[in-house]
Amino acid sequence: MKELLISMAKGLVDDPDQVTVEVDEANEEGVVVYHLHVAPDDMGRVIGKQGRIAKAIRTVMRATANRSDSKILVEID
């Protein structure tokens, strides 16, 4: 899952070397939080107009998590 998020983000940004993902442990509800970090100049590319790209990234990640019966949350920091 982490690799999927990294590959999607690297395809969107100008500086793919700055893309990192931190994964938190599952909380009491079983939700795993993924923190996506990109360069400040690339933040707009990852979020997109009116958050459409960010929403699409979250949708793909949620669909992937549903296949393995897990719950995730993607935060763009």
Q: Which domains does the chain have, with CATH numbers?
A: 2-76 (3.30.300.20)
Which DSSP symbol is given to 3? Answer: H
In the numeric block, the tokens 């958050």 are attached to 51
Residue 54's pLDDT is what?
A: 95
Instruction: Read off the pLDDT of residues 19-77 as tens digits, 9 standing for 90 and up.
Output: 999 999 989 998 999 999 999 999 999 999 999 999 999 999 999 999 988 999 999 98
Residue 52's pLDDT is what?
A: 96
3-8 average pLDDT score: 94
Residue 5's pLDDT is what?
A: 95
Residue 77's pLDDT is what?
A: 86
8 A C-beta contact, residue 66 and residue 24: no
What one-character-per-residue DSSP string does 6-74 give?
A: HHHHHHH-S-GGG-EEEEPPP-TT-EEEEEEE--GGGHHHHH-GGGHHHHHHHHHHHHHHHHTT-EEEE
Prediction pTM value:
0.89
